[in-house]
Structure 1
Amino acid sequence: MEFLTGYIIEKSLSVDNLFVFLMIFSVMNVKAEHQPHILKWGILGAIFFRIVFIIAGVALINLFHPIIYVFGALLLYAAYKLAFGNDKKIDAENNWLIKIFIKYFKLMPDYDGRKFFIKENGKTYITTMFLTLLLIESSDIVFAIDSIPAIIAITRDTFIIISSNIFAILGLRALYFALAGLVELFKYLKYGVSLLLFYVGIKMLLSDFYKIPTEVSLIIITIILTASILLSLIRKRKFAE
């Protein structure tokens, strides 16, 4: 039950992440045929960083239990930012990570392929595909700051947290191409995800005083996500009429 609840949370939080991936590919002018290759390596990197963050997060709670209140507050802030914050914009030119790599490595901007590095005349060049991968990895790290505390609010079992994260992430590539053409269809989904973050934040803050059963959390989370999807579909149908 904890695995299923954690999996649904991670998968739903991944949807907002996928929309950011869509914007990154658009800004970096990545062709559709090269996107699966970048997503594959991005997902492998995401799995590695998530495992590191999960182990560190659980260790922090075991070492200093009051940190759960910081995590809970972080989730409430993330919920507010998602619901009422401005839409995320990708500014590749001013991204600090890209600036560092462009400073120390030569860029081959006209390369039209899927390789991350190119050797020419004895020199190694980075490509826009590599810079795109950097943007995707850095955006996933930012999302992990929200998603890891969210699942820790459900369970403290490290194996369940890691396995549910990995299973949710492994389906990201297929989910991306399924949702790429349906962005406008799920207009209210971000509010549903925001409400989900708010709920797990409250659950974490109350965990020392009252433990909400996992079954109840699963039902609440399912209702929130289902309602946001149905509202989006109803809105789309009304506009179509």
Structure 2
Amino acid sequence: MRSNVLGSAADFRRGGHSSRRPLDSHLAQLFMRDLRADAPPQLPIFRSRLQGELLARLLLGPDREHTMLDLAVMLRTDLGSVVREVDRLARAGLLTLRRTAAGRLASRDTATPLHEPLAQLVMHTFGPKAVVAEEFGALPGAAEIHLFGAWAERYSGVAGEPPGDVEVLVVGAVDPGAAFDAAQESAARLGLPVHPVVRTVGEWRDDTDPFLRQIRACSLVRAR
């Protein structure tokens, strides 16, 4: 996935832009900053963290279209970076673009044979488990963090419809308000509602709570 942008960089350095109008300094800085973005530690084969999180937003969860501006706001980055990344992925046949009066809309391309394996790869690197571990893992007093419900089932390989939310169990002496804030941050990054459940270590070990017994009986994915 790095080859497209590296090829563009090579053309840029060779002077392939000489027949075009020169870039102003601001656009040039944005372009070169995008080239210098580090590969993400989750999986270095992705060109950048932005690319991984963009794929997660479009490939995971309910299938829907997003405007470029919506993606920029949700991913907390500039519009130009999103447009360039979406264009690269669309040229690679991983996303589809549809032009409307309101602008271009990006969505997943389920027709490509790469869709399913790429979605699985993204799920395990930039999906809810990674985001939840990062956001909830910073909470003081959190002893364990688990995903349960439909997302845990999909992650564990249980077939079914794409889940419409993410359910998180936080075990420890955690302030419910802080857990709610972490859920809001996670939801902003994932584009899906995140519902936290907070229980103390003693409550989690107590096998008499019907709700917790139900959670244990189904797919449970530990995030931390």
Structures share a fold, TM > 0.5? Answer: no
Q: RCO higher in 1 or 2 (8 Å CA, sep ≥ 6)?
A: 1
TM-score (norm 1): 0.25
TM-score by length of 2: 0.26
Greater Rg over alpha carbons, structure: 2
